[in-house]
Amino acid sequence: MAISVTGDKLFERVRTVVREQRIDPAGDAAAVHRVATQVVADHEARSLTGAVDSIEEPDLLIGQLVADIAGFGPLQPYLDDPTVEEIWINQPSRVFIARDGKHELTSTILTAEQVRELVERMLSSSGRRLDISTPFVDAMLPGGHRLHVVLEGISKNFTAVNIRKFVARAHSLDDLVALGSIDAQVAAFLNACVVAGLNVVVSGGTQAGKTTLLNCLAASIPGNQRLVSVEEVFELQCGHPDWVAMQTRQSGLEGTGEIDLRSLVKEALRMRPSRIIVGEVRAAECLDLLLALNAGLPGMASLHANSARQALVKLCTLPLLAGENIGSRFVVPTVASSVDIVVHTSIDVSGHRGVQEVVAVSGRVENDNIESEQIFLRRGGVLERGVGIPARRDRFEQASIDLDSLLAVGRWAH
């Protein structure tokens, strides 16, 4: 719905009242809604005298006024819609959304000025900036959604905007069972791995559900242990009772003050963690994570990969970015001795997300290849028991967990 001339006047009136009453639009949307409701009601009362035209859909106009002042304008309905997973703007006249993993072009048409204003409003509460010297930005919106913007000039013709909503349909491994992403036996096994303190890596492609799975795994961490997580942008929402979350920071206008993931991993080790989580491993911070895991600190991480075995290859490659003195002769055996379990998840053509395989790392290296075995693998849409067994059986015994019973074929059959 485009705001009419009447709507423009009411918008200015609502904005004036909000300023006069010193209401914080970003922090008190309910107050903005009350003001908008009163302004529209006053207008309708005047329309009875014939002084102004009546509004055909006052409730719809109120919602749009609130969205324009306290929210994110034409995008707000998509942000409020729990079925929408992602929103992106390729150009002002082409706004897309994703539902159930499928893309669709919306009827929303913006102007270049509206896009600029929306980006400025989104970044205003994040403490992050976008300019010629910093043409990319990752930030978190007030609702917990992740914003990524590429400035015009880097992207062709128009600023490209992407909002990845964190639509959490699962908060625990049991929730994933209910959604059909894993089955009961795999959930029980993964829960046992976390309780026993094994090091778990979650792999998968974009939008495959890596963050959701990582959240569900984190929910299995015993409450008496201290969790420290590090991310580029806050996405984890596990709700652990003893949890410190940290995110990276851009450099300032002077080019100083940047905090990267490598620094955060090192700082996390000084905070007496019982567990560490790296939200997504992309570059040289992989080395710092491996060193932490190799020193006996249980942890979890996620990374992009096409399979569990490709994830192991990537874990052996990324540390090489840390410097010329880091070689594969050191990295490969370190990965083999540090990573215990790789869980690979994917999204199919219908938009359904699910675990495809759970792989055990044996700790052995043969011809520079890390040996691994599938504990579970998906065949014909069903997760089946493979031949793999976790190498650190002693960890399960120390936690009083019967590993053989967990992995028994047929024991969990319906």
Return all residues near 121 (Cβ < 8 A) that are at least 6 apart: 72
Q: What is the pLDDT of the chain when averaged over all its residues?
A: 89
Cα 373 from chain centroid (whole Å): 29
Cβ contact 403:391 at 8 Å: no
Task: Tell me the average pLDDT across 334-362.
Answer: 94
pLDDT at 337 over 80: yes
* Dihedral of alpha carbons 14, 17, 19, 22, sign: negative
166-178: pLDDT as tens digits: 766 789 999 999 9
- pLDDT in the model for residue 275: 97
Cα–Cα distance, 248 to 263 (Å, whole number): 9
- Res. 223 pLDDT band, cuts 50 70 90: very high
Q: Which domains does the chain have, with CATH numbers?
A: 5-71 (no CATH), 76-164 (3.30.450.90), 173-407 (3.40.50.300)
pLDDT at 343 over 90: yes
Closest-CA residue to 119 (of 163, 77, 84): 163
- pLDDT in the model for residue 230: 96
How many Å is the maximal CA-CA distance in the chain?
88
pLDDT at 414 over 70: no
244-282: pLDDT as tens digits: 999 998 877 677 788 999 999 999 999 999 999 999 999
Q: What is the 3-state secondary structure (H, E, C) of 246-306?
A: EECECCCCCCCCCECHHHHHHHHCCCCCCEEEECCCCCCHHHHHHHHHHCCCCEEEEEECC
- pLDDT in the model for residue 277: 97
- In the three-class reduction of DSSP (H, G, I as helix; E, B as strand; rest coil), residue 64 is classed as helix
- Res. 411 pLDDT band, cuts 50 70 90: low
Range with the lowest mean pLDDT among 21-30, 107-116, 391-400?
A: 21-30
- DSSP tag of 367: T
pLDDT at 28 over 80: no
Cβ contact 389:407 at 8 Å: yes
Task: Tell me the average pLDDT across 107-120.
Answer: 89
- pLDDT in the model for residue 102: 86
pLDDT at 331 over 80: yes
Helix H or strand E segment including 207: none
Distances (CA, A) of 2 to 6, 65, 149: 11, 11, 25
